[in-house]
Amino acid sequence: MGGFYVFRVLLACAALFSLGYANIVDAGTIPSLYGRDAYVLKGKTASVTAIFNITLSSPSNQTITVNYATANDTATAGVNYTAASGILSIPPNTRTATVSVTVFGNNTPGVDKQFFLDLSSPVNATLGTSRLTGHISDSTTSIAFSDPLNIQRYWFQSGDFVGTNLYPATGANRDMRLADFDMDGKLDLIIPASHSYDSHVWLFKGNGDGSFREPVSFSSTYNVQGPNSLAIGDLNNDGYPDYVVANGGILVTDGSVHISLNGGSPFFVVGGVGGFTTTAKVLGNYPTGVALADLDNDGDLDIAVSCNRQSGASSTAKVILLLNNGDETFADPIELDTGSSGAYGIAAADFRNLGWNDLIVTLENENKVLVFYNMRTAGSASFSAGTRYSVGSYPTGVAVGDLDGISIRI
């Protein structure tokens, strides 16, 4: 009897040992197959090759095979790429192999597309990845720009810029900005176009594939008079981008800003501008630049306008501030004197990293920029008298950003 129990105990131990040993061998000798997505830039005419890299998780002394086959997603076999399928073989002691897929070129701009490469039925390996994606970039960053008569779009393709006219606009296009005004995930284009008697702000709905719909237009009915520039920001904190235009006006004394609040309802209807609520603030002084920033640190965007010429009794160009009341109205203008005969561009930034926005203005007739430092007075917008810095000849535009990654320089 006693011997019987010993025998059973030994058998159980042997069975456990055998089972454990088998598991260790499996985990150590059967590698997994992993793959990487492929990325290609579509050629203008020539085909390019999308290369998928397949890698083993560990070396193997056996030949490993796996079936592969392409499958359509937004890219179509025979139209955008050549269908491919077969058996990929990885020789012993080799850890990588590739699958190549031909992607066709064409000179027609379109949206980015993708297809799949499916892996199946591995031999002597397991699948760590079963579906890879081939990404076909139709274009990288697009740019749009305007000349006096046209609005053009260029995009980077196969190492070169190619372009097309978007729209033949009239008037002098002086600025252009991109924003998703209707919040459909596609950038829209807005352009102020100045003309002596027929100024417009053009608003193009983006289709998301590089093309735009026929524009809607704001004209003098909406206080557009000689628009020089515009700024975009959410003035009423409702999530929809609003915009402000600096109108030079036909006369120096009738310069204004017009403030358009985006109501979020459909407004991309040709001939219509419903959805925006537009009000004008007559400032005189020939506004040229406009910037949106929280100048009094109360949590909403305020408006800073650079004005190029004097009016009335004033002998110098001005910066005019419109503080946001937080209820879709703006307080009376606050004037900052530049002491100069001409101011043009304006931007706001926290130059000192103190949590308060300062202002910088270009003084075109002095070859200088002027910085108004925020005096950091709670509940008001209070700025220093301004400090001049010499720059190149006849400065007009100004943009601010952290270009060198150093946010504070002492």
Applying CB under 5 A, the residues found at the interface with Ca ion are: 180, 182, 184, 186, 188, 234, 236, 238, 240, 242, 294, 296, 298, 300, 302, 324
Minimum distance, C-beta of residue 292 to Ca ion, in the bound complex (Å): 10
- Token pair recorded at residue 267: 């407004």
The least distance separating Ca ion from the CB of residue 141, rounded to whole angstroms, comes to 18
- Closest distance of CB 293 from Ca ion, Å: 8
| Residue keyed to tokens 């008697």 | 197
Classify residue 348 as exposed, middle or buried by CB count within 10 Å of its CB (0-12, 13-18, 19+). Answer: buried
Least Å from the CB of residue 186 to Ca ion: 4
**93 class by beta-carbon count within 10 Å (0-12 exposed, 13-18 middle, 19+ buried):** exposed
Q: Is 3 helix (H, G, I), strand (E, B) or coil?
A: helix
Quote the least distance from Cβ 203 to Ca ion, whole Å.
10
- Token pair 């284009």 is at which residue? 189
Q: What single-letter DSSP state applies at residue 331?
A: P
Residue 287, classed as helix, strand or coil, is strand
How open is the CA angle 50-56-60, to the nearest 5 degrees? 135
Q: How near is the Cβ of 324 to Ca ion at its closest, in Å? A: 5
Nearest residue (CB) to Ca ion, 18 versus 207: 207
Q: Which one, 91 or 208, has the nearer CB to Ca ion?
A: 208
Nearer to Ca ion, 155 or 268 (CB): 268
Tell me the C-alpha distance between 371 and 386, whole Å.
5
Instruction: Tokens 């359509």: give the residue.
Output: 72
> Between 207 and 387, whose beta carbon lies closer to Ca ion?
207
Cβ closest to Ca ion, residue 244 vs residue 369: 244
Q: Which is nearer to Ca ion, 244 or 370 (CB)?
A: 244
